[in-house]
Amino acid sequence: MLKVCKFGGSSLASGEQFAKVKEIVKADSARSVIVVSAPGRRFSGDSKVTDLLYLCHAHIQYGVSYENIFAMIEERYNEIKQTCGLTLDLEAEFAEIRSHMGKRMSIDYLASRGEYLNAKLMAEYLGYAFGDAKDWLFFGYDGKIDLDKTYEAVGELIRKHPRIVLPGFYGSMPDGSIRTLSRGGSDITGALAAAAIDAVAYENWTDVSGILMADPRIVDKPKSIERITYAELRELSYMGAEVLHEEAVFPVRMKDVPLYIKNTNDPSAPGTLIRESFDEEVDDERSATHFITGISGRKHYTVISMGKIGMSGEAGFLRKALAITEKFGVTVEHVPTGIDSLTLVMPTGKVERCLPELVAELKAACQPDTIKVTGDISLIAVVGRKMAFRLGISGRLFANLGANDINIRLIEQGADEIIIIVGVMDSDFEKAIQVLYYSFT
């Protein structure tokens, strides 16, 4: 019954943050596999150690002294060591890293040292073992993670050392050299460890109390989402919400390990639980009044509407239109239709370079009676698995937008009924999100 806990950079940015992590880990004996990032920012304007390591590498390449930057990195770890009263021989660790410094030094090796050193310090602080990721997170020659080999190796390691700290963000290539994951990749490391051992939970500790119901830059102190499915998460993040990277969660999703997003600075806050699905009854009972999981949206869409009498009876009309957008390499995100009308909704950034030519070709190929282009449209997604079969949700949604003088330019509902999308003018974007948020919370 082990839990895997991943702590992000801001949770490990200083000795003071290390102390919070220790308290969290010691509060639950199941928290036995700890995955760490490198020290992140302590305050706004501060640097992440990973960024400093990349900068160091750039200086080496340009033949410029890296001493000042490396000294800043050393200083970050020395502070943690002193504040936490640790004995790790950091001077020897720094000397080892320096011995690799030269023009041919691998950038991945240097960048990975951020996590490596933090994990060593954390292992000593917690009294846990240390499991170097080079010995268990394996890449194939194609640069992809070798899942079978990795699961087997980390599973065995954890069986041997059930209380262990693992550095995130890197692993090794078949030739033994270090390779890093994409930025923020410690989330992936944690998910791999959790999936490998079928953990009872994967806790992702960060500096926010879970995923928020709306963008806090638009809605004042939005509530956090207690429970969300992966399908809802996908809709919210596609429409602009900043949440976990999909690649980061696929291992735990595949094994259906419950994934929690928790706040190191407010550990008693419930955070967000993410799962493939939830038990309906529990779900209903817990949130009888919450039909909406979250709201997100994106600005800057262009909409092309075509009208033609008899369109619905003309075989191939939609195909002809989409063949042209495809030819221009423009993605059409939505296609709301009427009996004799068709609307193509496209991100402005993708279509603006070729808009006049695209419209001309649509006219020639589809021969519409009317064609109209509207720019500056925003799409807003109201997402909620509990909306399906529930009467009155869309009624409330449209009525409240109307009552607040927000004109709805288009409407779409996903086939699985977990999402309703409304298009409004860009100038109404923030107001519409606020109206919808307060209508459903």
Residues that bind ligand ASP (CB under 6 A): 9, 37-38, 48, 50, 114, 168-169, 183-186
Please state, in angstroms and rounded to a whole number, the distance separating the CA atoms of residues 387 and 418. Answer: 6
Nearer to ligand ASP, 185 or 368 (CB): 185
Shortest distance, position 172 Cβ to ligand ASP, whole Å: 16
∠ CA 186-51-191 to the nearest 5 degrees?
5
Residue owning tokens 């940015």: 13
Shortest distance, position 379 Cβ to ligand ASP, whole Å: 30
Shortest distance, position 275 Cβ to ligand ASP, whole Å: 23
Shortest distance, position 299 Cβ to ligand ASP, whole Å: 27
Shortest distance, position 186 Cβ to ligand ASP, whole Å: 3
Nearer to ligand ASP, 48 or 290 (CB): 48
**CB neighbourhood size of 161 (10 A):** 16
Beta bridge partners of 142: none
Nearer to ligand ASP, 185 or 384 (CB): 185
Distance of CA 178 to the CA centre of its chain: 24
Query: For the residues of 117-182, what is the DSSP string, one character each?
Result: HHHHHHHHHHT-EE--GGGT-BB-TTSSB-HHHHHHHHHHHHHH-SSEEEE-SEEE-TTS-EEE-S
Shortest distance, position 2 Cβ to ligand ASP, whole Å: 21
Nearer to ligand ASP, 244 or 420 (CB): 244
Structure tokens belonging to residue 353? 């370079």
- Nearest CA among 60, 56, 55 for reference residue 102: 60
Nearer to ligand ASP, 10 or 325 (CB): 10
Query: CB–CB of 30/1 below 8 Å?
Result: yes
Residue owning tokens 């920012």: 41
Shortest distance, position 69 Cβ to ligand ASP, whole Å: 16
- Beta strand 164-167 with 272-275 is unpaired
Nearer to ligand ASP, 168 or 336 (CB): 168
Nearer to ligand ASP, 143 or 313 (CB): 143
Dihedral sign from CA coordinates of 50, 52, 55, 59: negative
Shortest distance, position 52 Cβ to ligand ASP, whole Å: 10
Residue 240, sorted as left (phi over 0), alpha (psi -120 to 50) or beta, turns out to be left
Nearer to ligand ASP, 183 or 363 (CB): 183
Nearer to ligand ASP, 40 or 384 (CB): 40
- Nearest CA among 230, 256, 264, 226 for reference residue 245: 230
Shortest distance, position 104 Cβ to ligand ASP, whole Å: 23
Query: CB–CB of 5/25 below 8 Å?
Result: yes
Instruction: Name, in order, each residue with C-beta under 8 angstroms of 62's C-beta and a sequence gap of 6 or more.
Output: none
